[in-house]
């Protein structure tokens, strides 16, 4: 791990610590204000300048340190070199590998079915965890407020009930996503192994064919000559298997067509067709295209 990486990790941890301390300070201010209620607006006994200053003073050194580290990172151009790199998509990588396999193996099909089950199971678990939260929020008896103490009790009770179910639901999604990623990797590995087996089989087949060709080359000369004769005749054969008579007919037809074309061109010059073609071309340029 490089120095820049360590510096960025420290800066990230410091920012997270400041965020937690600010949240704790806000909750403490609210609880202190609720414990010492007095007459008058809530701003006079909860969020006063004195209480906010007293809560923020312990955090001020950390805030200044974080600010100084941010300025230093901007001046020295310290940044994460991997931030601009695209995030690796395991599913796309799996699809690219599996697309090269003609027939998926049984292991690949099993992993693909497992991935679908994990994805469905994760979302079902998250939805089941959201049902108690919806039932709690929609129950008006949990929010029957009479005074500020009742508000505090309702908020604390709601947080104590909602947070565990939310954490469990998110944990279901996280666990199933991690297991699904491992299954995707196993499927990609199985596809890679299948391609290697196919390549090895093809190489073995090529080696076997080479050995048979070598044996054929070592046969008696008479047999070699008889084996080379068809290949030589095949190499000497024309690309199009046509007889000489057919070739002569084709050449004759081409010559007749060429002579007829020349005759018709001369007749066109004689009867004035060239002028008609020129006039039509001029009209196309001047009327249709709009050059006139």
Has this prediction a pTM greater than 0.75?
no
What integer pLDDT is reported at residue 227 of this predicted model? 46
Question: Poorest-confidence range of 85-94, 148-157, 176-185, 266-275?
Answer: 148-157
Q: Structural domain tally of the chain? A: 3
- As a whole number of Å, the end-to-end CA separation of the chain is 74
Q: How confident is the model at residue 82 (pLDDT cuts 50, 70, 90)?
A: low
Residue 132 covered by a domain: yes
Please report how many Cα atoms fall inside a 13 Å half-sphere around the Cα of residue 173, on the Cβ side: 11
Tell me, yes or no, whether 79 and 184 share the same domain. Answer: no
Q: pLDDT tens digits, residue range 134-156?
A: 988 888 777 765 555 556 667 77
The band of 33, judged by pLDDT with boundaries at 50, 70 and 90, is low
In a domain, 188, yes or no: yes
228 inside domain: no
Q: Are residues 140 and 63 in the same domain?
A: no
Report angle CA 263, 268, 274 to the nearest 5 degrees.
140
CB 129 within 8 A of CB 184: no
pLDDT of amino acid 174 = 93
Question: Are 190 and 90 in the same domain?
Answer: yes
Clarify whether residues 34 and 148 are in a common domain. Answer: no
Residue 144 CA, distance from chain mean position:
49
Q: Of residues 222 and 50, which shows the higher confidence score?
A: 50
In angstroms, the CA 175 to CA 164 distance is 16
Based on the fold, state whether residues 195 and 287 are members of the same structural domain: no
Which domain, by its residues, includes 146? 86-208
In this structure, the answer to whether residues 145 and 201 fall within a common structural domain is yes
Same domain, 45 and 113: no
Co-location of 145 and 99 in the same domain: yes
Over residues 188-240, the pLDDT tens digits come to 888 888 888 888 888 888 888 877 777 776 655 444 444 444 444 444 444 44
């Amino acid at each position: 791990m490089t120095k820049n990486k360590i510096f960025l990790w420290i800066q990230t941890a410091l920012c997270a610590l400041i965020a937690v301390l600010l949240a704790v300070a806000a909750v403490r201010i609210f609880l202190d204000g609720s414990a010492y209620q007095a007459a008058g607006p809530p701003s006079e006994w909860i969020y006063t300048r004195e209480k906010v200053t007293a809560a923020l003073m312990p955090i001020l050194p950390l805030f200044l340190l974080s600010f100084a580290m941010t300025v230093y990172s901007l001046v020295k151009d310290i940044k994460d070199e991997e931030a601009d790199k695209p995030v690796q998509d395991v599913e796309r990588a799996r699809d690219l590998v599996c697309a090269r396999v003609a027939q998926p193996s049984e292991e690949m099909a099993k992993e693909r079915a497992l991935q679908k089950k994990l994805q469905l199971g994760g979302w079902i678990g998250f939805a089941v965890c959201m049902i108690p939260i919806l039932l709690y929020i929609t129950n008006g008896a949990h929010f029957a407020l009479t005074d500020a103490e009742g508000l505090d009790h309702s908020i604390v009770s709601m947080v104590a009930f909602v947070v565990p179910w939310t954490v469990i639901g998110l944990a279901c999604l996280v666990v199933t996503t991690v297991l699904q990623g491992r299954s995707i990797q196993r499927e990609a590995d199985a596809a890679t192994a299948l391609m290697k087996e196919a390549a090895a089989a093809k190489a073995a087949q090529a080696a076997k064919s080479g050995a048979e060709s070598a044996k054929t080359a070592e046969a008696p000369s008479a047999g070699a000559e008889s084996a080379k004769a068809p290949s030589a005749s095949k190499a000497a054969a024309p690309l199009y298997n046509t007889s000489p008579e057919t070739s002569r007919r084709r050449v004759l037809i081409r010559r007749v067509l060429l002579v007829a074309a020349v005759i018709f061109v001369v007749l066109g010059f004689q009867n004035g067709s060239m002028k008609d073609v020129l006039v039509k071309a001029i009209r196309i340029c001047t009327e249709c295209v709009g050059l006139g």
